Amino acid sequence: MNYVIVGNSVAAVGAIRAIRALDQQGNITVISREKHNAYGRPLISYLLGGLINEKRMSYLPDEFYSRHRINLLLNSEVIGVDTDSRKVKLVGGDTIAYDRLLLATGGDPFVPPIEGIADKDRIFTFTTWDDAAKLKVISQDINHAVVIGGGLIGLKAAEGLNLLNKSVTVIELADRVLSSAFDRPAGKIVARKMKANGIDVITEDTVVRIEGEGTEITGVTLKSGDFIPCDTVIVAIGVRPAAGFLKESNIEIKRGIVVDNTMATSAKDVFAAGDVAEAADFFSEQKNPMPIWPDAYIQGDIAGTAMAGGAKTYAGGLAMNSIEFFKVSTISMGITNPADPSEFEIHSFQDIQNYQYRKIVLKNNLLVGAVLVGNVDRAGIFSGLIKEKIDMKLFKESLLLPDFGFVNLSREIRDTLFSPLGKSVNKDIPAMATGH
Amino acid sequence: MLYKSVNESFNEFIVERKDTTCIRCKVCVRQCAYDVHRYIESEDCLTEDHTLCIGCRRCSALCPTGAISIHLNQEAFKKNESWSTAHIRNVYAQADSGGILLAAMGNPAKYPIYWDHLLLDASQVTNPSIDPLREPMELRTYLGKKPDNIEVVYDKTTGKPSLKTKLTPQLKLEYPFIFSAMSYGALNLNCHRAMAAAAEELGTIYNTGEGGLHKDLYRYGKNVIVQVASGRFGVSEQYLNAGVGIEIKIGQGAKPGIGGHLPGEKVDDQISETRMIPFGSDAISPAPHHDIYSIEDLRQLIYALKEATNYTKPVSVKIAAVHHIAAIASGVARAGADIITIDGFRGGTGAAPQVIRDNVGIPMELALAAVDSRLRDEGIRNQVSIVVGGGVRSSGDAIKAIALGADAINMGTSTLLAMGCTLCQRCYTGKCPWGITTNNPYLAKRVNPELAAEKLVNLVHAWGHEMKEILGGMGLNALESLRGNRYKLRAVGLSEKDMYLLGVMPAGE
Amino acid sequence: MKRIYSIEDACIGCHLCEIGCITEHSLSKDPVKAFMHEKERPISRCTVEELNGGITSLSTTCRHCDEPDCLQACISGAIQKDSEGVVRLDREQCVGCWSCVMACPYGAIQRNLASKKANKCDLCPDRETPACVDACPNRALVYREGSQK
């Protein structure tokens, strides 16, 4: 059995482990257009900010590829898939045959056609190790950077530059930062913290022109007419599934590669996972790309299992993010900012001064989302309650408690969540669990 | 002490805390049921109110660094051979309260302990001793009425013998020990689970006490004696038939002549259901059974219970060891009891007036000897088995009791000790820090039934091993051979009269 | 694999499991030194939850899941499952992003804010039985073969 995996990040790793759990014999080939072994992609801001060195970028133990007997092709870009002849085409003309193919190419940063962008040197995106490395190399010459986009990537890039004592301006089209993953109060707290640390945040505005002579940047002009002087621009508007190379294939692609709940695409024996895939949402079951790290791992795991002949079912993508900005922890999960709040029940607690916020979103007595800022301890209990679809009718009040725990739920629920073997005190089981 | 009465300040214990090893983990604060320990946050230190300490040693036992020790208050009143510190304190307490002093557990006063004046025999030269690790040894005991004589018939074709005499029902014990009657309510359900499970594991019996049998424990029926006391709590046809035997409780060694009182605040939903009384109502056991004023009345109740259970269960009658115990026991035997349980004055209680506990009743050793002799003299010893309790502290005491004539031993205090009790004697407060005599759910968790059952099993196993060693040393291979065999006992330091009553010869004779 | 199971009915809320855990993960493994003298006090990997003044209490800790959510969420690769099944956290590799805290449905990963590292049960590699289990005076924690749920 020849397994071919295009992409070498977390979805690929999840798939490799899943395949090897079921199939020790098959050949696994991993093809990556990057030059690195799998690395912690979200760590690039830590690398830029000097919080970690290059050695710690590595996502896997050194022997991972050899232990799993992976044929690893780095610096190799796949430019097409022929599902009839079951081959992938590489730049340079080589082809590689597959019996099972996983497409896990991730996302490409989206760079809009802003006036003046084309001929400038110091325009960067911020999604890869190389992006961070390039920025780091020129960082000594940066005086003022503008970050276009106030989402997670933009803010982390801004924080990284700030840690290098660069002055940074973030420009966000929406009325607040982090508008997709977080709600208004959480965005406010983060913006407040950014500003307190010297990052300028401009909202409800956007860059219409990048100014400068030749390749040099002198500043950006905003829609409002304001001019922000700068020498570097980072475009962090978002990512799109990196599925462009499949145009010629007959694999169904909408925004991403459409997959079912085993991560199978429309083409036989071809699977997709991670940011490139368009899989079902946990709540709506509608399909949409969800660029979420843990979700990519899970999708990879499910795809790998299916490829090796096993059976696992995807429960649907649950968005969740944990990001720290200047030591303020923020975690969001699920539906945090419902479009129609009347269908939901929302409880919240906020103490903006102390960077504390907690919000709980329920629907039909089920927990569907949560935002935690500041005290995020044990946030995972909420993700468990969402995934397990526990009826929270009787426990809603306790969800906002700073020390919310399993003890606030009922005994029955605790037993279903982690029913211990040690129920020897339970009345249905003899007190003497062991003999003498 | 500020805001304390003078008398409260004459505290019994001193809590000593080594500041150098105290790690401020506050386990002591959480574990003390009497609020002795307090954490002072601003100073990051712990402090204690000695006047509240009852000396249970929960804190010192659980302190992870051994930073706490509990001492008797060495501060003394002027030495007085007549007025002990306890007497003085009691007077103070009653001058403060105007009430009866409550007490718990068995009589702790300095009366003679006859076990400590009796010694056992062993084989030398002329009769071989037996190694219990190599030879079979039997501790199995049957409780119940034994026939005057038996008739054996032989099968005509095979020649095999069989018993023609129909035996009355017997309780079969693999060890001559019973976890004695301590009611559900006085002890919590965790303790009852432990006793029931241990009895099952050991092949012996657990006595429910007068608080009924919790529905979860019906499945232990083969190892249960159900008790019927003057309050008749939890008694139903189903209850009477739930166990293998029934006990009518007339008296209790710790408080002969006194009834019982479980305060309403201890009667939670489970106890209410089990005792069949309203939630939160006081459970009062009258001093007498109001339908028993004579041996004939007792006989009526015994036979009523036998009728209710279709003569399938032996009936025990439990009486406290008091002055005319031999005559009373004879009456009980003649009333139709299958087992007489004698509770000595060192037997425990959850709550009793201290003056009663410390001054009423007689030692079980003397009572047992008197009853056994009397029943033999009257030729009715075989009609009843004798179970004794109240002050058996070891297998040595137990085997001496067997030699004095007991069939089996009730383990009360030793059962509690095995489950963690430190004999602080505050059972009546309902705040047992070891989680035994309390129904406070926070405290009751401290008895893990699984762990407590294991300890009970271990204790009985240990005592069983020791008894076999002693038996083997005497050249006996069955406990039955020692029963009532007072020839195997010798007395030291007892008066002629004591020895006469005990029916033992002096050591050296 | 062997796991730590928490028996709620037997938990007496003494927190000795936490004290055992902190001691075991200290430099000296001596409670007095760990609590009173060492510069950095470890954070307990087990958490005792209490309600109604301790009437309900239980100690929770890592279940060393078959498919650990924390591992899937970890962005740095600091969390790995070893060949024995133990879910291990490499402190050197951890960047303190708290993704594991977000993902663990048992709430069993703690934040060490001083070192900005996640903190989780390692089943006490230097001991035969984990410290929390040995420290429990009432056998509310047991260490035995069993499944995750």
The domain spanning residue A74 has which CATH number?
3.50.50.60
Q: How far is CA B367 from CA B9, B152, B322, B394, in A?
A: 41, 36, 8, 19
- List b or e across C96-125, with b for residues whose CB sees 16 or more CB atoms inside 10 angstroms: bbbbbbbbbbbbbbbbeeeeebbbbbbbbe
Q: Looking at the domain C66-120, which fold is it?
A: Alpha-Beta Plaits (3.30.70)
Pick among C7, C16, C22 to test the B interface (most B CBs inside 10 A): C16
B204 CB-near residues (< 8 Å, 6+ apart): B173, B174, B175, B177, B178, B179, B223, B460
Helices (H), B362-448: 364-377, 395-404, 413-418, 441-444
Do residues A8 and A82 both lie within one domain? yes
Helices (H), A114-242: 129-138, 152-163, 184-196
Q: Comparing B389 with C147, which gets the higher pLDDT? A: B389
Asked if B395 and B403 touch (Cβ cutoff 8 Å), the reply is: no
Asked if C140 and C59 touch (Cβ cutoff 8 Å), the reply is: yes
Mean pLDDT of chain C: 95
Chain C hits for B191, Cβ within 8 Å: none
Nearest to B62 among C7, C14, C36 (CB): C14
ipTM greater than cut 0.90 = yes
Q: Do B450 and C139 touch (CB under 8 A)?
A: yes
Domain ranges, residue A220: 123-237
Q: Which phi and psi (to 5°) does residue A359 adopt?
A: -135, 140
Q: Could you read off the pLDDT of B376-407 as tens digits, one per residue?
A: 999 999 999 999 999 999 999 999 999 999 99
Nearest to A433 among B190, B194, B450 (CB): B450
**A389 within domain boundaries:** yes
**Could you give the CA distance from residue B9 to residue B350 in angstroms, rounded to a whole number?**
26
Q: Name the minimum distance, in Å, from the CA of B454 to any CA of chain A.
A: 8
CATH 3.30.70.20 domain position(s) in chain C? 1-61+121-149, 66-120
Mean pLDDT of chain B: 96
Asked if B141 and B488 touch (Cβ cutoff 8 Å), the reply is: no
Q: Could you read off the pLDDT of B255-298 as tens digits, one per residue?
A: 999 998 888 888 999 999 999 999 999 999 999 999 999 999 99
Q: Could you tell me the residue ranges of all domains in chain B? A: 7-98, 152-157+164-506
Residue A409, burial from CB neighbour count under 10 angstroms (0-12, 13-18, 19+): buried
Q: Do C12 and B435 touch (CB under 8 A)?
A: yes
The pair of structure tokens assigned to B108 is 């702790």
- Give partners of B (≥3 CB pairs < 8 A): A, C
**Could you give the CA distance from residue B434 to residue B458 in angstroms, rounded to a whole number?**
19
Q: At what angle do helices A184-196 and A152-163 cross, to 10 degrees?
A: 20
Angle, vertex CA C50, rays to CA C45 and CA C54, nearest 5: 130
Q: Do C72 and A421 touch (CB under 8 A)?
A: no
The pair of structure tokens assigned to B55 is 């000396």
Closest CA to B54 of B437, B329, B398, B490: B437
Do residues A76 and A128 both lie within one domain? no
CATH superfamily name and code, B152-157+164-506? Aldolase class I (3.20.20.70)
pLDDT score, position A419: 59
Q: Name the minimum distance, in Å, from the CA of A192 to any CA of chain B.
A: 33
Q: How far is CA A113 from CA A117, A118, A207, B388, in A?
A: 7, 8, 11, 99
pLDDT score, position B297: 97
Identity of the amino acid at C23: T
Q: Name the minimum distance, in Å, from the CA of B275 to any CA of chain A.
A: 19
pLDDT score, position B3: 83
Asked if B205 and B199 touch (Cβ cutoff 8 Å), the reply is: yes
Q: Do C98 and A297 touch (CB under 8 A)?
A: no
| Cα–chain center distance at A263 | 18
Pick among C45, C64, C72, C110 to test the A interface (most A CBs inside 10 A): C72
A420 touches chain B (CB under 8 A): no
Residue ranges with strand state E in A230-314: 232-235, 239-241, 257-258, 270-272, 277-280, 287-288
Pick the CATH number of C1-61+121-149 from 3.40.630.30, 1.10.3720.10, 3.30.70.20, 3.50.50.60: 3.30.70.20
Chain C hits for B20, Cβ within 8 Å: 32
Pick among A421, A424, A428, A429 to test the C interface (most C CBs inside 10 A): A421
The pair of structure tokens assigned to B506 is 């002096």
Closest CA to C1 of C62, C64, C89, C81: C64
pLDDT score, position C145: 87
Nearest to C75 among A293, A329, A385 (CB): A293
Nearest CA in chain B to C56: B442
Question: Which residues, given as ranges, of chain A have pLDDT below 50?
Answer: 421-436
Classify strands B141-143 and B171-173 as parallel, antiparallel or unpaired. Answer: antiparallel
**Could you give the CA distance from residue A72 to residue A75 in angstroms, rounded to a whole number?**
10
Q: Do C54 and B451 touch (CB under 8 A)?
A: no
Q: Do C6 and A52 touch (CB under 8 A)?
A: no
Do residues A215 and A244 both lie within one domain? no
Element (H, E) at B91: helix B85-97
**Could you give the CA distance from residue B309 to residue B172 in angstroms, rounded to a whole number?**
18
Chain B hits for A426, Cβ within 8 Å: none
**A315 within domain boundaries:** no
Q: Do C32 and B65 touch (CB under 8 A)?
A: yes
**Could you give the CA distance from residue B395 to residue B401 in angstroms, rounded to a whole number?**
10
Asked if C131 and C3 touch (Cβ cutoff 8 Å), the reply is: no
The pair of structure tokens assigned to A101 is 């193919």
**Could you give the CA distance from residue B180 to residue B199 in angstroms, rounded to a whole number?**
11
**A35 within domain boundaries:** yes
Q: Count how many domains chain A has.
A: 3
**Could you give the CA distance from residue A335 to residue A362 in angstroms, rounded to a whole number?**
9
The domain spanning residue A379 has which CATH number?
3.30.390.30
**A92 within domain boundaries:** yes
Chain A hits for B198, Cβ within 8 Å: 432
Q: Do B64 and C19 touch (CB under 8 A)?
A: yes
Element (H, E) at B59: helix B58-62
Q: Which CATH class is domain B7-98?
A: alpha beta
| Cα–chain center distance at A261 | 19
Angle, vertex CA A207, rays to CA A204 and CA A211, nearest 5: 150
Asked if A360 and A367 touch (Cβ cutoff 8 Å), the reply is: yes
B457 touches chain A (CB under 8 A): yes
Nearest to A383 among C103, C111, C149 (CB): C103
pLDDT score, position A431: 34
Q: Do A425 and B449 touch (CB under 8 A)?
A: yes
- Give partners of A (≥3 CB pairs < 8 A): B, C
- Give partners of C (≥3 CB pairs < 8 A): A, B
Q: Name the minimum distance, in Å, from the CA of C14 to any CA of chain B.
A: 6
Q: Could you read off the pLDDT of A232-256 as tens digits, one per residue?
A: 999 999 999 999 999 989 999 999 9
